[in-house]
Amino acid sequence: MKLLLAMMSHETNTFSTIPTDRRQFEARGLSYGGEIVETFRGTGTCLGGMIEATERAGATLVPSVAAAASPAGRVTADIYGDVEARILADIEGAGHLDGVLLDLHGAMVPEGMDDGEGQLLAAVRERVGPAVPIAVTLDFHANLSAAMVAHATLLHGYKTYPHVDMAERGAEAAGRLLDVIAGRIRPTVAYRKPPLLPPLGNQGTARGPMRRLYDLADAMEREPGVVSVSVFAGFPLADIPDAGLGVYVATHDDPALAERHAEALARVAWEHRSEFIHAALPVKDAVARARAAAGGPIVLADMADNTGGGAAGDGTEILRELLRVGARSAVVACLCDAAAAQACAAAGVGARVTLDIGGKVDDRHGAPVRVTGTVRTLSDGRFVHTGPMMHGLAGRLGTTAVLDVDDIKVILISYRWQTLDPEMIRLVGFDPLREKILVVKSTIHYRAAFEPLAKEIIEVDAPGLSSSNLQRFAFRRVRRPIFPLDPEATYP
């Protein structure tokens, strides 16, 4: 039993001015061949789950390429082409293959195309032919497309946001692929795309509309004949025709059942569409509320400056307000400004520096703030995720410095990385539990690890490219009418 294994993962925010080029993939992760198994074995990732399940089943893996980059603007044509070419060449070189296992995202927008995964799957399908099954994991934020559905044998979306089930979905995709190869299941699939573009803020699966949909999906999955059910909340900040919520149902040799369940889920999503509308507190109100709250830590979620949703990660508006009102003690985790981190490193621990920090990538995340502070700690930014997400996976923040401005500690990092793990705060020598205010640049993912630590969580409506206020964006290509951009949209 021989299976090709590959990963290409990117969530593209088409409003971002940062091109996602080879350098961005190298900063996050670009590995080949056996290196992939060494890097991901035992981690809480799709690849971790795929490797574990296939090794347990005694299958032979042909690891090809694993490429991931922090969400940003369009993936450049050269790196997209290189990864695709590598996968196709490894398929060719593998000789006979029984199946293909792919860990993809579903919201990747390369230069010159809308649907990166659809295109990649079409190319893989063409190379392996119609008889070889292809099983794929897709992120919860996938913008499901007709091409993805057509060219994959089975798709498996994460069922959680924060994404804490990646390893489970990877193992499931591998298991179902082996079932298909053995002839135990004959997949029949259906999908729906109601005209619905949910903002990120209320997509969490702990409560709200996605919880309702997944309770229903989970019940459907327990029925005989149902192979898997995925409800993709979609990534609204990819301005492409297919952006938005998608439902995908796979059954065993029963197309009518797949159609029925897909339709039922799409209807429920549509009926409850207004629950996706999200409101957060203005910056001033949020900071005032945090300062007035008893005890700590009070988490201020900078939802709109989430690098995991393609924002710059250098937003300054919450920091500016903390400085203005003299809030303390506080940690801002983490502000991506490689030049500022480098300046702190050059000055050395204990040095007093005056710097303009943040607000440098574009004009959508506040202006730079001039601060004078003391360099408290320096680090190379290497850490291992210890929270429920990506557990065991190594992370890299690049040169990392803590600039202490009157007890507001700004963690300056060099690579864009979402603040989803308290290890990113501990790494620089702080105990997050001892701070009054913790600013985390994350929309939902921080909740998995920070909710148990936080005295209170306050969602903040600062500017940024991962904002849940979709009216702030000039959409041009998404299919219209679509809710909530067009409140009058209908789902016939």
Closest distance of CB 200 from Zn ion, Å: 9
Torsion over CA: 247, 250, 253, 254 (sign):
negative
Select 140 or 475, whichever has its Cβ closest to Zn ion.
140
> Got the DSSP string for 8-33?
EE-BB-TT--S-B-HHHHHHHEEEET
Integer Cα distance of 429 and 345 in angstroms: 16
The H or E element spanning position 319 is: helix 317-325
Site of tokens 């090709």: 4
In the block, tokens 């003391």 appear at: 374
Please report how close the Cβ of residue 7 comes to Zn ion at its closest, in angstroms. Answer: 14
- What is d(CA 234, CA 451) in angstroms, rounded to the nearest whole number? 24
CB of 389 to Zn ion, least distance (A): 10
Select from 59-67, 132-140, 356-364, 453-461 the region that touches Zn ion (CB under 5 A): 132-140
- Is residue 139 part of the contact set for Zn ion (CB under 5 A)? yes
337 binds Zn ion (CB under 5 A): no
CA 150 to chain centre: 24
Per CB under 5 A, the segment of 92-100, 133-141, 367-375, 465-473 that binds Zn ion is 133-141
Distance CA 445, CA 422 (A): 12
Beta carbon of residue 104, minimum distance to Zn ion (angstroms, whole number)? 12
Q: Which is nearer to Zn ion, 25 or 232 (CB)?
A: 232
Which residue's CB is nearer to Zn ion, number 140 or number 248?
140
The phi-psi region of residue 381 (left if phi > 0; otherwise alpha if psi is between -120 and 50; otherwise beta) is left
Q: Mark residues 433-462: x for contact with Zn ion by CB under 5 A, - for none.
A: ------------------------------
Binding window for Zn ion (CB under 5 A); candidates: 85-93, 138-146, 177-185, 204-212: 138-146
110-118, 141-149, 175-183, 199-207 -> range binding Zn ion (CB under 5 A): 141-149
Q: What's the closest the beta carbon of residue 139 comes to Zn ion, in angstroms?
A: 4
- Cβ 163 to Zn ion, closest distance in Å? 6
Question: Whose CB is nearest to Zn ion?
Answer: 141
Of residues 43 and 399, the one with the C-beta less far from Zn ion: 43
Q: What is the DSSP string of 88-142?
A: HHHHHHH-S-SEEEEEE-SB--BTT-S-HHHHHHHHHHHHH-TTS-EEEEE-TT-
Q: Residue 460 — φ and ψ, nearest 5°?
A: -110, 140
Smallest gap from Cβ 81 to Zn ion, in A, equals 24
Q: Mutual orientation of helices 116-128 and 77-94 as an angle, nearest 10°?
A: 20
The separation between CA 143 and the C-alpha centre of its own chain, rounded to angstroms, equals 12
Task: Report the C-alpha gap between 343 and 428 in whole angstroms.
Answer: 17
Let me know: does 12 contact 75? Beta carbons within 8 Å: yes
Task: List alpha helices for 331-465, DSSP H.
Answer: 338-347, 423-426, 446-450
Q: How far is the CB of 141 from Zn ion (least distance, A)?
A: 4
Pick the stretch among 136-144, 219-227, 272-280, 484-492 that binds Zn ion (CB under 5 A): 136-144
Specify the residue, 107 or 340, whose C-beta has the smaller distance to Zn ion: 107
Nearest CB to Zn ion, comparing residues 139 and 179 = 139
Shortest spacing between CB 270 and Zn ion, in angstroms: 22
Residues 11-30 that bind Zn ion (CB under 5 A): none
E strand or H helix that includes residue 167? helix 166-181
Our CB check for Zn ion shows the closer of 139 and 459 to be 139
Rounded to a whole number of angstroms, the minimum distance from the CB of residue 134 to Zn ion is 21
166-181 vs 46-56: helix crossing angle, rounded to 10: 40
Contact 146, 106 (CB under 8 A): no
* Single-letter amino acid, residue 397: L
Q: Which is nearer to Zn ion, 306 or 399 (CB)?
A: 306
* DSSP-assigned beta bridge partners for residue 379: 400
Helical H segments across 224-303, by residue range: 255-271, 283-292
Kindly tell me which of 139 and 337 has the beta carbon lying closer to Zn ion: 139
Residues 142-181 that bind Zn ion (CB under 5 A): none
Q: How far is the CB of 238 from Zn ion (least distance, A)?
A: 12
Given a contact cutoff of 8 angstroms between Cβ atoms, the answer to whether 66 and 39 are in contact is: yes
Residue 157 in contact with residue 138, Cβ under 8 Å?
Answer: yes
Least distance in Å: CB of 301 to Zn ion? 16
Of 197 and 371, which CB lies nearer to Zn ion in the complex structure? 197
Nearer to Zn ion, 133 or 464 (CB): 464
CB of 3 to Zn ion, least distance (A): 25
> Of the listed pieces 89-97, 131-139, 379-387, 430-438, which binds Zn ion according to CB under 5 A?
131-139
Cα distance between the two ends of the chain? 46
Binding segment toward Zn ion, per CB under 5 A, in 134-142, 169-177, 458-466, 473-481: 134-142
Tell me which residues in 271-300 interact with Zn ion (CB under 5 A). Answer: none
* 141 contacts Zn ion (rule: CB under 5 A): yes
- Residue 391 makes contact with Zn ion by CB under 5 A: no
Q: How many CB atoms lie within 10 A of CB 304?
A: 28
20/54 with CB nearer Zn ion: 20
Number of residues binding to Zn ion, judged by CB under 5 A: 3
d(CA 341, CA 347): 10
Which residues sit at the interface with Zn ion, rule CB under 5 A?
139-141
